[in-house]
Structure 1
Amino acid sequence: MSASRMPRTFGASTTAAEVVDGVDLHGRRAVVTGASSGIGVETARALATAGADVTLAVRGTAAGAGVAARLEAELPSGAGKLTVRRIDLADRSTVAVFAADWDGPLDILVNNAGVMSPPQIARTADGREWQFGVNHLGHFALTTGLHRALAAADGARVVAVSSIGHLFSPVVFDDLDYRFRPYDPWTSYGQSKTAVALFAVGAAERWAGDGIAVNAVMPGNVGATSLGRNMDPQQVAAVIASGDLALPPEKTVEQGAATSVLMAASPTVEGVTGQYYEDCAQAKPVAERAGAVAGVAPYALDQENAARLWTVSEAFVR
């Protein structure tokens, strides 16, 4: 992943295109989940522009094919190839098929797909709380299922897309699926995104010997995405008015994809693993949630939490 020209600094306003300017990914293979909308599209675009062959791993293949066709018409000469394959992270059978059908090394995996704060509780095909099941367990099953392919690559990178929303809740190990406590869309989202960050910590620890770097990222407050399609607008307005939800400055989709692309492709972060990045830089620790619009909670990087979550997740996806 070489680069001949890059901006001297990256930050909150950096775009994915700026991150890959001068980066050569020819001969590399990448998978981006949730690549039919939002920052997933821009992540796929940037990686393909740099020469990577990119698989768009999507739930709706018709939508994915439409995105691939549009990108192919817009990509520069010499860009990587685009492929569309189906995966539904709420249905572990499709995850198993995707991983089993993958052939050869995998250089880059961007676990980008996600769901956010449906007003009523929902569950995956195997009974897990939907946000935890999709945002964490589905990607856990996918990434561990692709471990051999990642290990076969030369310095593979995994990017786990978390959120500032992780500040809403640690992983509540005694009631992961809201069987005993009242369902709350925000704490369930927060728990799932904390789990995503802890996965990066756990995988980085386990897979360092395989040359696999695993990092979590916070894209930012990206308005023009479909992530909030399941949310109740009145409920969101009430939470904002209460002061429980503070939002960072809004980003464009191109800016929102930048930190994912940085950790997936940039030589500037070579050797970085087990970290949480935002605005194209390592996040600072947060002491308390009130008013926080950036940073990472200590519980989301805790090694003991990560080890416990890994054990629980293995049992769930076995």
Structure 2
Amino acid sequence: MTTSNPITTPFAHHSTATDVVQGVDLVGRRVVVTGGSSGIGVETARALASAGAEVTLAVRNPDAGQKAADDITSTTGNDRILVAPLDLADQGSVADFVANWDGPLHILVNNAGIMAAPLSRTPQGWEMQFATNHLGHFALATGLRPALAAAGGARIVSVSSAAHLRSPVVFEDIQYDRREYDPWQAYGQSKTANVLFAVEATRRWADDGIFTNSLMPGAIRTNLQRYVSDEELDRIRAGNAAAWKTVEQGAATSVLAAASPLLDGVGGRYFEDCQQAAPAQPGGRTGVAEYALDPQAAQRLWEVSETLLKG
């Protein structure tokens, strides 16, 4: 499932999450959004809540999560907005979230992440961006697989980035034990991992009715960029000023992958601006890299991830 018969939709760069979810009925559906207290996470949660879903905000800071939940309830009238603690860099926290989940799960939005962070490591020695952006979500999704299968048609949304074009997964030294650390390259590697996860999860779980897609939300100013200097952001903006989106626009492609009937039974694909992305061109800033859709790399990453989590 790659770029053959690409999915097209009536939505585009300027579409908002509200536009995408218009007319979609999610009453009776249960949703988890990681990083749901700010940025595109809270707007993704808001749009899904507006369609009637029960939404759990899985967040590191429960107080911030509760403020976001109250805000979503006040703007949508939906009081089925829950908050649960989750620190993706802490495998114990992920295990606790999984253990506390009860019943089916229809939509899992793997949205949380860190970007271009200085080098730091988990207690296991894992590079923090890879550990948070990929391994934490991998453990969460595999742990919740029974709940997703029980939904009878579930979706996982893997929020990636155009930064995946900066680096494949470097299997020979994923954790930067031997090569010089570069925060943007490390971020890119973790975002490629998000795309590869969608490819392999769909291959493994489609028979359970679980389909996974990845996406580039767009360039949006959020807390994600807390490690990026204002000077660097200005330089990025100057390079492509027209591409910047509001958070409501940035959440649109996530909501498309989570809830649009246009993606029923579709998995293993990468979307940007609410369309299935074309192959990336050399030197370009859009599209999807061939290495990010490589089924052999996807299978290898899955096996490596399982081995790392087993310790």
Q: CA deviation at 1:169?
A: 0.3
- Three-state SS of the structure 2 residue aligned to 1:222 is coil
Question: Which residue is 2:206 aligned to?
Answer: 208
- Residue 254 of structure 2, aligned match among 236, 260, 264: 260
Percent identity between matched residues is 57
- Is structure 2 residue 272 aligned with structure 1 residue 278? yes
Confirm or deny that 1:96 pairs with 2:95. yes
Does residue 75 in structure 1 map to residue 103 in structure 2? Answer: no
Output the CA distance in 1 between the equivalents of 2:47 and 2:105: 17
Look up the match of 1:303: 295
> Contact 1:124/1:134 (CA < 8 Å) preserved in 2?
no
**In 2 relative to 1, CA 91–311 (structure 1 residues): closer, same or farther, beyond 3 Å?**
same
In 2, the alpha carbon distance for the partners of 1:280 and 1:190 equals 21
Q: Is the 8 A contact 1:50 1:80 kept in 2?
A: no
Counterpart of 2:205 in structure 1: which amino acid? Answer: W
- Which amino acid in structure 1 is aligned with residue 154 of structure 2? A
1:81-101 alpha-carbon deviations (Å, 9 max, x no partner): 100000000101000010111
What does 1:121-270 align with in structure 2 at a 5 Å threshold? 121-223=119-221, 225-234=222-231, 240=236, 249-270=243-264
The answer to whether the 8 A contact 2:281-2:287 is kept is no
- The equivalent of 1:5 in structure 2 is none
Q: CA–CA distance in 2 between the matches of 1:315 and 1:129?
A: 16
Could you tell me whether the CA contact under 8 Å between 1:41 and 1:67 is conserved in 2?
yes
Q: Distance in 2 between matches of 1:134 and 1:14?
A: 29
Distance 1:130 1:247, change over 3 A: farther
Q: Matched residues in 2 for 1:80 and 1:70: separation?
A: 10
Point out where structure 1 has 5 or more consecutive residues left out of the alignment.
1-7
CA distance in 2, matches of 1:66, 1:80: 13
Structure 2 unaligned runs (5+)? 1-8
SS in 1 for 2:55: strand
Runs of 4+ in structure 1 deviating by more than 6 angstroms, as ranges, are 245-248
Contact 2:73 2:79 in 1 (8 A): no
Deviation at 1:234, TM superposition (A): 4.5
Q: Indicate how the Cα distance of structure 1 residues 26 and 215 shifts in structure 2: closer, same or farther if over 3 A, else same.
A: same
CA deviations over 1:190-209 (Å, ceiling 9, x no partner): 00000000000010000011
Shift of 1:246: 6.2
CA-CA distance at 1:123 after TM superposition: 1.1
8 Å Cα contact 2:152/2:208 also seen in 1: no
Residue aligning to 2:304: 312
